[in-house]
Structure 1
Amino acid sequence: MEAEIITVGEEIILGEIDNTNARFLADRMRQQGIVARWQTTTDDAPQHICTAVQNALSRVKTVFVCGGLGPTTDDNTLSATAAALGTHLAIDERHWRWIKQEFKNRHQKMVKSNIVQACFLAGGASLTNPVGLAVGSWWQQGEKTVVVLPGPPREFRAMVDQEVLPRLRQLIPGQQLVADLIMHYVGVPESQLMTTINAALAKNSAVVATSYVQPGEIQVRLTTTAASQQEADARLQTTRQTILAAQPEGYFGDGQITLAGEVVSLLKQRHLHVTAAESLTGGLVQSLICSVPGASAVFDGGFVTYAPAQKAAMLGIQAEVIDKYGVVSSETAGAMADGCRQKVGADFGLGLTGVAGPDELDGQPAGTVWLGLSIKGEPTRTRCLHLDAHSGRQAIRLNSAQLALMMLYDHLQK
Structure 2
Amino acid sequence: MQAEIISVGTEIILGQITNTNARYLADQLRQLAIEAPWQTNVDDDPARIKQALATAKERANLIFICGGLGPTEDDRTMAAVGDYLGRQLRLDEDYWQQIKVQLEARSISTTVSPENIRQAYYLAGGTPLSNPTGLALGVYLKDGAHTYVVLPGPPHEFKPMVDQSLLPHLKADFGKGHQTHSALLHFVGRPESLLMQELASLGLDERLVVTSYVQPDEIQVRVTLHDVAKEEATSLLEQAIAKIARQEADYYIGRGAGVSMASQLVALLKEKGLKITGAESLTGGLFQATLCSVAGASEVFDGGFVTYAASAKEQLLGVPVETVRQYGVVSKQTAEAMASGCQQKMGVDVGLSFTGVAGPDDLEGHPAGTVWLGLAIKGRPVESHLLRLPGQTRQFVRQQSVQEGMRLAYNALR
Normalising by structure 2, report the TM-score: 0.88
Q: Partner of 2:250 in structure 1?
A: 249
Does the 8 A contact of 2:131 with 2:138 survive in 1? no
Q: Which moved more, 1:401-410 or 1:269-278?
A: 269-278
Deviations 1:313-354 (A, max 9, x none): 222222222222222221221111122222222222222221
Contact kept, 8 Å, 1:8 with 1:67, in 2: the verdict is: yes
CA–CA distance in 2 between the matches of 1:97 and 1:405?
48
* Kept after mapping to 1: 8 A contact 2:2/2:35: yes
1:358-369 alignment to 2 at 5 Å? 358-369=360-371
- Name which of structure 1's ranges 402-411 and 174-183 shifts more when overlaid on structure 2: 174-183
Could you say if the C-alpha distance between residues 278 and 272 of structure 1 is closer, same or farther in structure 2, counting changes exceeding 3 Å? same
Distance 1:282 1:101 in 2: 42
- The residue that corresponds to 1:38 in the other structure is 38
Alignment of 1:108-119 (within 5 A): 108-111=110-113, 117=119, 119=121
Q: 1:246: Cα distance to partner?
A: 2.5
Corresponding residue number in structure 2 for 1:169: 171
Cα deviation for residue 128 of structure 1 reads 3.5
Aligned to 2:88: 89
Match of 1:353 among 339, 352, 355: 355
The 1:312–1:166 alpha-carbon spacing in structure 2 relative to 1, beyond 3 Å, is closer
- How far 1:9 sits from its partner (Å)? 2.0
Q: 1:186-225 counterparts in 2 under 5 A?
A: 186-201=188-203, 203-225=204-226
Asked if structure 2 preserves the Cα contact closer than 8 Å seen for 1:31 and 1:177, the reply is no
**Is contact 2:67–2:77 with CA below 8 Å preserved after alignment?**
yes
State the 1:17 CA deviation: 3.2
1: distance between equivalents of 2:95 and 2:292?
Answer: 41
2:129–2:166 CA contact under 8 A, matched in 1:
no
Q: Residue 374 of structure 1 aligns to which amino acid in structure 2?
A: A
Structure 2: distance between partners of 1:128 and 1:166: 11
The one-character-per-residue Cα deviations of 1:169-195 (angstroms, maximum 9, x if unpaired) are 344365423232222212111111111
Following superposition, the deviation at residue 36 of structure 1 comes to 1.9
2:181 paired with 1:184: no
SS at match of 1:200: coil
**Residue type of the alignment partner of 2:265:** V
Aligned partners of 1:307, 1:101: CA distance in 2, in Å? 51
Whether contact under 8 Å (2:129, 2:140) holds in the other structure is no
Measure how far apart 1:154 and its partner are: 4.7
Report the AA paired with residue 327 of structure 1: V
**Contact kept? 1:207, 1:222, Cα under 8 Å:** yes
Q: 2:4 aligned with 1:7, yes or no?
A: no
Identity %: 47
User: Residues 99 and 133 of structure 1 are in contact (CA less than 8 Å); yes or no, is this contact kept in structure 2?
Assistant: no
CA distance in 2, matches of 1:23, 1:175: 24
Q: Which amino acid aligns with 1:183?
A: L
- Is 1:379 aligned to 2:381, yes or no? yes
Letter in structure 2 aligned against 1:249: D
Question: Following TM superposition, by how much is the alpha carbon of 1:261 offset from its aligned partner in structure 2, in angstroms?
Answer: 1.8
2:304, 2:99 → 1: CA distance? Answer: 47
Q: CA deviation at 1:297?
A: 2.2
**Hey, what does 2:393 align to over in structure 1?**
392
Q: Is the 8 A contact 1:129 1:155 kept in 2?
A: no
Distance in 1 between the 2:235 and 2:114 partners?
55
Q: CA deviation at 1:68?
A: 2.8
Point out the more displaced range, 48-57 or 113-122.
113-122
Q: Deviations over 1:249-292 (max 9, x none)?
A: 21222222121222122122222222222221122222222222
CA distance 1:130–1:299, shift in 2 (3 Å): closer
**SS of corresponding position for 1:369:** strand
The 1-side partners of 2:248 and 2:23 are apart by 29
SS of structure 1 residue aligned to 2:355: strand
Answer yes or no: is 1:406 the counterpart of 2:403. no
Structure showing greater radius of gyration is 1
SS of equivalent residue, structure 1 residue 238: helix
Deviation at 1:100, TM superposition (A): 5.6
Partners of 2:226 and 2:19 lie apart in 1 by 28
* TM-score, L = length of structure 1: 0.88
CA spacing shift, 1:320–1:204, aligned 2, 3 Å = same
Contact 1:326–1:362 (8 Å) recurs in 2: yes
Q: Distance between the aligned counterparts of 1:2 and 1:150, measured in 2?
A: 22
Return the alpha-carbon distance in structure 2 between the equivalents of residues 12 and 31 of structure 1.
26
Q: 303-312 or 44-53, which moves further after superposition?
A: 303-312
Match of 1:306 in 2: 308
1:104 is displaced (CA, Å) by 8.5
Separation in 2 of the partners of 1:386 and 1:84?
Answer: 56
Residues 96 and 115 of structure 1 are in contact (CA less than 8 Å); yes or no, is this contact kept in structure 2? no
SS in 1 for 2:201: helix
Query: Could you tell me how far apart the structure 1 residues matched to 2:98 and 2:249 are?
Result: 58
Superposed CA RMSD in Å reads 2.6
Distance 2:301 2:230 in 1: 39
